[in-house]
Structure 1
Amino acid sequence: MSRIDEKMEFIPVRIAVLTVSDTRGLDDDRSGDTLVARLEGAGHMLADRKIVVDDRQMIADVLRSWCDDAGVDVIISTGGTGLTGRDVTVEAHRDVYEKEIDAFGTVFTHVSMAKIGTSAIQSRATGGVCNGTYLFALPGSTGACKDAWDEILVKQLDYRHRPCNFVEIMPRLDEHKRRK
């Protein structure tokens, strides 16, 4: 069973938050605020925060920029994961990924099913890795952001989480680039 090993030292990571919305600004970005409060409450650092409109290229450009920034370890986006024509966040993420974390969407769906039942089928939450940086695309609702953080990310982004976690393998995410 998973657990936190309190004998180990907590290692904070630097997390950038991207809100994808045609209608929100920083003054009314409740989902972004929720993520920032939770990541800082857990002891992590906010590396950057932006809001972009639902435009695949613009989203991918921000993601790539942050993946190239040594001051960003993790990117969490919120919004644009649904099924409508304007929902292009998942496609933008996949344009950037070197590897997809296939089970992230599955685990998120499992968590969501317990909260919203079969409506969870409408989410396309996803996760991946690019240039040694983790990326996660979450739905735009505050409830979905809370669920993803509280049930998945707070644990996987804690070095003390056992039996394994994302932080302990961070140094190896881009090892293929160092091979000769």
Structure 2
Amino acid sequence: MSTEIISKSLKVAVLTVSDTRDEQTDSSGRYLQSVAAEAGHEVVDKRIVKDDIYDIRAVVSAWIASDVQVVLVTGGTGFTGRDSTPEALIPLFDKRVEGFGETFRAISYHDIGTSTVQSRAVAGLANYTVVFCLPGSTGACRTGWEGIIKEQINSAHRPCNFVGVLERDGVMGHTQ
């Protein structure tokens, strides 16, 4: 994990979606919390919720209505009966970030081969907040962070990044 200087620190929240994990066993959520802080961002909240559409949506809705600028979600993106993160969060998006899922699966292919087609990793913008939804494994979170997210929430990354679209009325973050 590299410590890279960023121009602007963002307010980040981390959500683990799982019916089985708790604070002791949540390695994916701890990983995302750690790398976001190490990159210079302020992690303002971290939670674990059951894989339930309405529980997921309630937590993320509260964050996007607040001053959180980046939401990192791990879990609930597979194909089992309880995997419901995309169904919970896509309706909240003002715009989908189509290239996120495509790029995540392209990068993952090198590690897990054709099993990557079962990933429903998605991202979108909602009320000046970017939401990234990753699979629940720590390896998948590492792939998403290192391969995409770290650069895209770094204001110094060129030719473009998400930091500029997280500004409301020319001010970083949300107005109260």
TM-score (norm. length: structure 1): 0.88
* CA–CA separation in structure 2 for the residues paired with 1:160 and 1:169: 14
The equivalent residue for 1:23 is: 20
Shift of 1:168: 2.2
Give, as a single letter, the amino acid of the residue that structure 2 aligns with 1:132.
Y
Indicate yes or no: 2:149 matched with 1:153.
yes
Give the ranges of 4+ consecutive aligned residues of structure 1 lying more than 3 Å apart after TM superposition.
Answer: none
Measured in 2, the distance between the counterparts of 1:13 and 1:84 equals: 33
d(CA) in 2 for partners of 1:137 and 1:59?
Answer: 11
CA distance in 1, matches of 2:15, 2:155: 23
2:173 match: none
- In the alignment, residue 66 of structure 2 is paired with which amino acid? D
| Pair 155,173 (structure 1): closer, same or farther in 2 beyond 3 Å | farther
Measured in 2, the distance between the counterparts of 1:149 and 1:64 equals 22
Whichever residue aligns with residue 53 of structure 1, its letter is: K
CA distance in 2, matches of 1:126, 1:80: 11
Q: Cα gap change, 1:165/1:69 in structure 2, threshold over 3 Å: closer, same or farther?
A: same
Please give the alpha-carbon distance, in whole angstroms, between the structure 2 residues aligned to 1:128 and 1:20: 17
The Cα shift of 1:27 comes to 1.5
Q: Return the letter of the residue paired with 2:32.
A: L
Amino acid at match of 2:27: R
Which of the two has higher C-alpha Rg? Answer: 1
Residues 77-96 of structure 1: pairs in structure 2 closer than 5 A: 77-96=73-92
Contact residue 19 and residue 52 of structure 1 kept, 8 A: yes
Deviation at 1:173, TM superposition (A): 9.3
Q: Is the Cα contact below 8 Å between 1:100 and 1:128 reproduced in 2?
A: yes
Whole-Å separation in 2 of the counterparts to 1:56 and 1:95: 11
Q: Tell me the TM-score normalised to structure 2 length.
A: 0.90
Tell me what 2:8 maps to.
11
How many Å separate the matches in 1 of 2:168 and 2:159?
18
Deviation at 1:172, TM superposition (A): 5.5
The share of aligned pairs that are identical, in percent, is: 45
CA deviation map 1:64-104 (0-9, x unaligned):
0000012x101011000001110001110112111111111
The whole-number CA distance in structure 2 between the counterparts of 1:15 and 1:84 is 28
Could you say what secondary structure the match of 2:167 adopts?
A: helix
**Residue of structure 2 aligned with 1:167, choices 160, 163, 168:** 163
Gapped runs of 5+ residues in structure 1? 1-5, 175-180
1:43 to 2:40 alignment: yes
The one-letter code matched in structure 2 to 1:59 is I
Task: Look up the match of 1:177.
Answer: none
Q: Could you tell me whether the CA contact under 8 Å between 1:131 and 1:173 is conserved in 2? A: no
Match of 2:63 among 58, 62, 66: 66
